[in-house]
């Protein structure tokens, strides 16, 4: 098939890698800056904050990767089972499946004769028939399922990178003033994620930046107050 002249204008929205990467980076950034700010608010020592940040990075990245793998694998298994049912239905009762497909085309505006002809044409190719039925009835493309390994890897590295951003100042110094550098780094990271998402989706860059930065700042401020309130009790 010849390439469509608009193909270069479309982004790949079928895979799970991009979603996992964006979610992982955002989650890693916010969760670790909250951990760091909370500990700093509780007057924890610099080495304690640094160690907790590293532990949070590793635990979060592994947890994200494992959760993403299990989630995508379970989704793929479910889709595969439904595809097998659809494949069996196409083999056992092709006439009924042809009627179902013709009804879909009629709902889309074709007249009965055209819809029937189109359905019969599709049914002549078993793999094409399976793909069309899967798209129409299940809303999935059999050949475009996300890879659980790829999604898990994207989640792991994206979370680790996001979590590392607010932690980096603490490798330079253990001074309590580093908490403000952590917040500044998190704000810059959140702004970068907001810009990236805005450019990828075609939405307003300003709105994307304000939304992500606002969430990061509000969450950090809240957890800092909580950490300060608990600091005297925990005596970190």
The more confident residue out of 225 and 67 is 67
Q: Quote the DSSP letter at residue 45.
A: -
Distance separating alpha carbons of residues 112 and 97, to the nearest angstrom: 15
- Percent of residues, the chain, with pLDDT higher than 70: 87
pLDDT bucket at 159, cuts 50 / 70 / 90: very high
Gyration radius of the chain's alpha carbons: 25
pLDDT for residue 59: 94
146-151 average pLDDT score: 86
pLDDT tens figures, 9-35: 444 444 455 667 778 888 899 889 888
* Res 185 pLDDT > 50: yes
- Whether the Cβ atoms of residue 110 and residue 118 lie closer than 8 Å to each other: yes
pTM: 0.73
- Whether the Cβ atoms of residue 145 and residue 134 lie closer than 8 Å to each other: no
Biggest distance spanned by C-alpha atoms of the chain: 79
- Whether the Cβ atoms of residue 234 and residue 200 lie closer than 8 Å to each other: no
pLDDT bucket at 63, cuts 50 / 70 / 90: very high
Please give the C-alpha separations between residue 131 and each of 28, 44, 138, 227, in angstroms, as whole numbers: 37, 57, 10, 54
* Res 1 pLDDT > 70: no
Distance separating alpha carbons of residues 46 and 167, to the nearest angstrom: 11
For the ranges 2-11, 65-74, 90-99, the maximum mean pLDDT occurs at: 65-74
* Res 58 pLDDT > 50: yes
Domain boundaries, the chain: 15-229
94-106 average pLDDT score: 82
pLDDT bucket at 196, cuts 50 / 70 / 90: confident
- Whether the Cβ atoms of residue 70 and residue 146 lie closer than 8 Å to each other: no
């Amino acid at each position: 098939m010849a390439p469509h002249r608009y193909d270069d204008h479309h982004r790949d929205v079928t895979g799970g890698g991009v979603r996992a990467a964006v979610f992982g980076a955002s989650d890693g950034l916010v969760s670790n800056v909250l951990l760091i700010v909370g500990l700093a608010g509780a007057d924890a020592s610099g080495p304690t904050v640094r160690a907790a940040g590293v532990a949070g990075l590793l635990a979060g990245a592994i947890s994200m990767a494992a959760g993403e793998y299990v989630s995508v694998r379970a989704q793929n298994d479910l889709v595969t089972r439904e595809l097998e049912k659809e494949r069996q239905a196409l083999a056992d009762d092709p006439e009924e499946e042809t009627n179902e497909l013709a009804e879909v085309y009629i709902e889309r505006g074709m007249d009965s004769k055209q819809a029937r002809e189109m359905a019969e044409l599709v049914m002549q190719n078993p793999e094409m028939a399976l793909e069309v039925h899967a798209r129409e009835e299940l809303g999935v493309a059999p050949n475009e399922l996300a890879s659980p390994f790829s999604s898990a890897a994207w989640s792991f590295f994206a979370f680790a990178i996001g979590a590392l951003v607010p932690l980096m100042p603490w490798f330079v110094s253990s001074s309590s003033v580093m908490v403000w550098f952590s917040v500044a780094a998190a704000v810059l990271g959140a702004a970068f994620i907001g810009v990236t998402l805005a450019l990828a989706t075609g939405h307003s860059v300003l709105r994307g930046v304000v939304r992500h930065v606002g969430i990061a700042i509000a969450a950090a401020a809240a957890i800092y107050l909580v950490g300060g309130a608990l600091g005297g009790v925990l005596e970190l």
